[in-house]
Structure 1
Amino acid sequence: MSKANIDVEKILQGKYPAKAHAKRVVEYIRSKIPDATGVLYLEGRSDKLLEDSDEPVPFRQRRAFMYLTGVDVADCFFIYDLATEHSTLFIPPIDPDSVIWSGLPLSPEEALSKYDVDAVLPSTELNPTLARLGAAPNATVFAIADRVSDAVTFLEFTNKDFTVLGEAIDETRVIKDEYEIALIKKANEISGVAHKAVLERVKKAKNEYELEGIFVGTSIAQGAKKQAYPSIVASGRAAATLHYVHNNKDLAGKDLLLLDAGAEWSCYASDITRTFPISGKFTEESRAIYEIVLQMQTETIAALKEGVSWDEVHLLAHRIAIDGLLSLGVLKGDRKEILEARTSTAFLPHGLGHYLGLDTHDTGGHPNYSDPDPIFRYLRVRANLPAGSVITVEPGIYFCEFIIRPYLKDPKHSKFIDEKVLDKYWDVGGVRIEDNLLITKDGSINLTDAIKDPDEIEKIISSS
């Protein structure tokens, strides 16, 4: 693993590489349909009001549309002509009534200057343009099912394909280009500052929601007005709940705080988890679990490179977890037999990580949630990792009674768990450490710089 030496600000001075993305998508389509001709058609998300209010629904651009345009604006449409490689963005025309309330919208001139497209037209020209392009011999319109407005017509096209475009975008999104990597790195940099701000103030905080406010506020102060996902701010035993949502419990009397939070930058996500002692000092038990999880992350990251099997990296994390829990006496018996019995899934029930990009759980991972093997069932990536992909590495060990108690009643597993020793660890709750890794030919580059060294964590919290 190497550090991220990426000149983020210089790279992001350019345009989002929408045309390059379109070409990659067309290449994928032609790998499935060699003689493909016609157009790609995509719609952005529309502005909508809440059904019982005149307040708008929070806007989130459709990721497929963002990938082919770089446009994070509502009520837009996009056409890409496969034959000429010509891209056209359609934007809303000026509505005088709307201008009174919301100001002038994006002009065609501004859009052409800002985005990587060949032409910009008002959306009133959309159907006439489709009619003209559809008149070409054997033309096909490639669109995504259930993402075509009722007012849009494809009558003139000989063929209509609502399957391959979505698949093509999902698959090509896996490998990021330089610009996308810079966006993810920017989101990580902002999130790293926000994570440190929480460390500096956790000792004096009273409630989980104070810490959520610190993280979100610090992100916004750096220009990141959106979070990549709702923050998980879980104290004490609540840290054993993987997607804890309450964020409203008092911190008094609790050991650890698990903070899973990441800002978004121009629709690209970061996804970072840190776990730390609220008091500024790990207990003997929580420090022991933290050290095991840190070792799990360090060794699995060291195993990353182009072509590595993610299944095998995930298994490595379980092997290290088993060895660590055996050393503490929580587990007992033969390490190989424990792994074969899948007893370690009581303590690490989720997958080691997932692709990251326009979505926090990004596309192209091909999970198999019906896998009969519980160790792989929730693994979100089932592939050899390609260079250029970005993946999270987020090992954890959790002491969730809802999960573990059934294992204690099952002879297959109970023989490997020492319940007396286990009882000392319930208050640890859970420990997870998560970074974002760019896969390279020979290894990986860590895009995350949030603090995770346990001694440094204690120092920052204790001195605040």
Structure 2
Amino acid sequence: MTTMDAILAGKYPAKSHARRVAELLKEHEHDAPSIIYLEAQKTRFIEDNDESMPFRQRRFFYYLSGCLLPDSCLIYDVNADKLILFIPPIDPEEVVWSGLPLSQDEALKLYDVDTVLATTEVNATLASIASTYGANAAAFAIADQVSNGIKFQGFARTNLSVLKGAIEKSRVIKDRYEIALLRKANDISAKAHIAAIKASKTALNECEIEGAFIATCIANGAREQSYHPIVACGENGATLHYGKNDDGLIDPATKIRKKNVLIDAGGEYRAYCSDITRVFPLGGKFSMETRQIYEIVLQMQTECIAMLKGDVQWEDVHVHAHRVAIKGLLGLGLLRGSEDELFEKRISVAFFPHGLGHYLGMDTHDTGGNPNYEDKDSMFRYLRVRGRLPAGSVITVEPGIYFCRFIIEPFIKSPELSKYIDTDTLERYWGVGGVRIEDNIHVTKEGYENLTTAPKVIEEVEALAL
């Protein structure tokens, strides 16, 4: 078996991606000659400052180039099967400050393209291709991502509406190089999660734990984060996208260390994301209440992951997570009634309000999920993925149980629904905040492959936190 590092030593497969996208575009232009035109993100400057803003490459451009250089562009000549990358020419004044940029020869060796030219040659290249194919040629680009001055003269049609969707559809299925990138991001992030747990032993606030995570990512080659980390201690974990990360780990009123920390964080490696959530105890041992909830959530995740394979209906997996949650919460005395009645009344939504997961790739919430946020059914409204999972996709599986007063109290105050929740038992669990466990799963034809190696078995997590 080829190792991850051996795969990543090769070139990012930009040209095969271009071919896949071109195949999806054929339904629009059939056999007419065509080109794809894409631009990189521009260098942008901070307002009232001469420094550039943090750079994040446009994912559509990267998918067909593998190039992280700003101010670049590409042309894929579909009929000639020729991928041309254009990079900025040398600016002598900029060299004084930043050194020599990547040369055209260096770029040709680095990227999976046929030709590398300067961006000053874009219009001449477009005109040459158009003249070769005559009056029947079509140009595909993305609306609002074409610079002023770019001319598609000589092309019979310029379509700005379908390329974005074609790339989004293509991106759902990952090739082995993309899987290797995602695995690498996960491996680095696993080290960072372990570092965060260890940092909690002496940390006084959430910031210190976040700092340990980010520092470990940077030290291992993931300079960028997939998203702003969530580091939530105690009841802060009940906020799904908590982002302050500045609270103390000791309750100021009781002077007692809070029970646990939920950390949802992932490093980004060469534009590909990881997205991992773990919960660990402060002080080395989970409280009885947190452990009970953790065991339910871990069972939810374990059983849902076991269901995964190509063509599985994602809604069915999501429903199973709710069924497991209902059974577990009934066992703790938090819920009352029959499992079927609790399911039909959607009582579990009070404790598990979000979707089970989302596609993952160059974006944390990657393309192709087809969510329906207008769904009247509260159990499915926030599902970011709908329909059947294709083999080759990568999806997060992230069930959770939360004790958020804002979400649960309307159920308690409802004359119809209040009878299903035991408020006396509930009082013991507010301090848990929330428990979410999230892994990144590669869906295969016959099953799945878990790309996430961060510890989640209770005994392993407690040993790291002790």
TM-score normalised to the size of structure 2?
0.97
The answer for the alignment partner of 1:362 in structure 2 is 366
Alpha-carbon distance, 1:137 to partner: 2.4
SS at match of 2:69: coil
Q: 1:310 aligns with which of 309, 314, 323?
A: 314
The answer for the alignment partner of 1:58 in structure 2 is 54
Q: 1:292 aligns with which of 277, 293, 296?
A: 296
The answer for the alignment partner of 1:150 in structure 2 is 148
SS at match of 1:317: helix
The answer for the alignment partner of 1:383 in structure 2 is 387
SS at match of 1:120: strand
Instruction: Name the aligned partner's letter for residue 251 of structure 1.
Output: L
Residue pair 2:139, 2:152 contacting (<8 A) in 1 also: yes
Aligned length: 458
The answer for the alignment partner of 1:422 in structure 2 is 426
Q: 2:80 aligns with which of 76, 79, 84?
A: 84
The answer for the alignment partner of 2:38 in structure 1 is 42
The answer for the alignment partner of 1:323 in structure 2 is 327
SS at match of 2:280: strand
Q: 1:220 aligns with which of 197, 218, 237?
A: 218
Instruction: Name the aligned partner's letter for residue 145 of structure 2.
Output: R
Alpha-carbon distance, 1:456 to partner: 1.3
Residue pair 1:341, 1:412 contacting (<8 A) in 2 also: no
Alpha-carbon distance, 1:32 to partner: 4.5
Tell me if 1:24 matches 2:20: yes
Out of 9-18 and 407-416, give the one that drifted further.
Answer: 407-416
SS at match of 1:98: helix
- Where in structure 1 are there 5+ consecutive unaligned residues? none
Alpha-carbon distance, 1:54 to partner: 1.1
Alpha-carbon distance, 1:33 to partner: 4.0
The answer for the alignment partner of 2:190 in structure 1 is 192
Alpha-carbon distance, 1:211 to partner: 0.4
Distance 1:78 1:393, change over 3 A: same
Instruction: Name the aligned partner's letter for residue 193 of structure 1.
Output: K
The answer for the alignment partner of 2:260 in structure 1 is 256
Residue pair 2:86, 2:117 contacting (<8 A) in 1 also: yes
How far, CA to CA, are the matches of 2:106 and 2:424 in structure 1?
Answer: 67
Alpha-carbon distance, 1:138 to partner: 1.2
Instruction: Name the aligned partner's letter for residue 186 of structure 1.
Output: K
Residue pair 1:6, 1:182 contacting (<8 A) in 2 also: no
Instruction: Name the aligned partner's letter for residue 247 of structure 2.
Output: K
The answer for the alignment partner of 1:402 in structure 2 is 406
How far, CA to CA, are the matches of 1:66 and 1:220 in structure 2?
Answer: 21
How far, CA to CA, are the matches of 1:287 and 1:31 in structure 2?
Answer: 54
Alpha-carbon distance, 1:201 to partner: 2.1
Alpha-carbon distance, 1:271 to partner: 0.4
How far, CA to CA, are the matches of 1:409 and 1:175 in structure 2?
Answer: 45
| Larger RCO of the pair (alpha carbons < 8 Å, separation 6+) | 1
Alpha-carbon distance, 1:285 to partner: 0.5
Instruction: Name the aligned partner's letter for residue 456 of structure 1.
Output: E
- Where in structure 2 are there 5+ consecutive unaligned residues? 251-256
Instruction: Name the aligned partner's letter for residue 104 of structure 1.
Output: L
Q: 2:176 aligns with which of 168, 175, 178?
A: 178
Tell me if 1:229 matches 2:190: no
Out of 131-140 and 282-291, give the one that drifted further.
Answer: 131-140
Q: Deviations over 1:196-226 (max 9, x none)?
A: 1111221211010000000000111111111
SS at match of 2:329: helix
Q: Deviations over 1:309-329 (max 9, x none)?
A: 000000000000010000011
Residue pair 2:29, 2:138 contacting (<8 A) in 1 also: no
Q: 1:243 aligns with which of 237, 241, 244?
A: 241
Instruction: Name the aligned partner's letter for residue 238 of structure 1.
Output: N
The answer for the alignment partner of 2:452 in structure 1 is 448
Tell me if 1:459 matches 2:463: yes
Q: Deviations over 1:394-447 (max 9, x none)?
A: 000000001111111123321211111111110000000000000011110000
Out of 112-121 and 147-156, give the one that drifted further.
Answer: 147-156
How far, CA to CA, are the matches of 2:321 and 2:416 in structure 1?
Answer: 22
Alpha-carbon distance, 1:284 to partner: 0.8
How far, CA to CA, are the matches of 1:158 and 1:422 in structure 2?
Answer: 67
How far, CA to CA, are the matches of 2:113 and 2:3 in structure 1?
Answer: 25
